[in-house]
Structure 1
Amino acid sequence: MKDYMLSIVQPDGDPPPPEVLDPILRDLAVLNQEMRDRGVWVFGAGLHDVSTATLLRPKDGDVLITDGPFAEGKEHLGGFMIIRVEDLDAALDWGRRLSLLLGLPVEVRPCA
């Protein structure tokens, strides 16, 4: 078994209105429960808005602290899941389901 991270790529801006977001969150809870029931789920979390990020960057033997995201962009990491599955194909299957459910890109990456 190998661990994989499913990273949810979220567009910048306000979240969808409740009439759009609520059904997505309900379906996401069902998918998360299925992952738990199948023993795939390890850990996952949604993240606060990218504006709440703080970047720590080493420079000249010190650390610079900057509010905000690492880079300006139109997308950011909105959340993630760690799953434990047999192989990359199984991780891609879960990532595909998550992407279709959310209507957002999902990056699948093995954990070291």
Structure 2
Amino acid sequence: MTKYLISFPSSAMVLSEEGLQEVSDASHAVVQEAKDAGVWVFGGGIDERVPPVMVDGDGTVTEGTYPETSELEGGYSVLELPSHEAALAWAAKIAAACRCAQEVRAFQYDPAS
């Protein structure tokens, strides 16, 4: 089975204050469905109030991040699924719940993880 990252940037989710609770309820229902199906690995949103830091091999901590990832934010789910088609089906459920398109990426297989 392959692990898939299903994600969206914060800017993709444009909601009214009233719509926020509906999306929260719908997304929690999809998470529970994935847990019940035994495919849920991990999920959550990046806390954008906490700035990123870089940690070097010697332990040096520097504020900031790689320039390529300065916009890394939003919501993420990791599911373990039997096929790419299954990942697309789950992404569609998450997209409907969150009311925004989802990006799907496969993790490379690593027998140690």
- TM-score (norm: length of structure 2): 0.74
Question: What secondary structure does 1:52 align onto?
Answer: coil
Residue-by-residue CA offset, 1:52-110 (whole Å, 9 max, x unaligned): 3324287xxxx68234784698x653121110111100001111121122122311111
1:65 corresponds to which of 52, 62, 67: 62
Structure 1 unaligned blocks of 5 or more: none
- Overall identity of the aligned pairs, in %: 24
SS in 2 for 1:84: strand
**Higher strand share goes to which structure?**
1
The aligned length equals 106
Residue 36 of structure 1 aligns to a residue whose secondary structure is helix
CA RMSD of aligned residues (A): 2.9
Q: Distance in 1 between matches of 2:81 and 2:27?
A: 19
Mapped pair 1:99 → 2:104: no
In structure 2, what is the equivalent of residue 56 of structure 1?
Answer: 54
- Measured after TM superposition, the shift of residue 47 of structure 1 is 1.4
SS at match of 1:44: strand
Match for residue 83 of structure 1 among 79, 98, 106: 79
On the 8 A contact 2:42/2:78 being kept in 1, the answer is yes
Distance across 2 between alignment mates of 1:34 and 1:72: 31
Q: For the Cα contact (< 8 Å) 1:41–1:84, is it kept in 2?
A: yes
**Contact 2:6–2:105 (CA<8 Å) still a contact in 1?**
yes
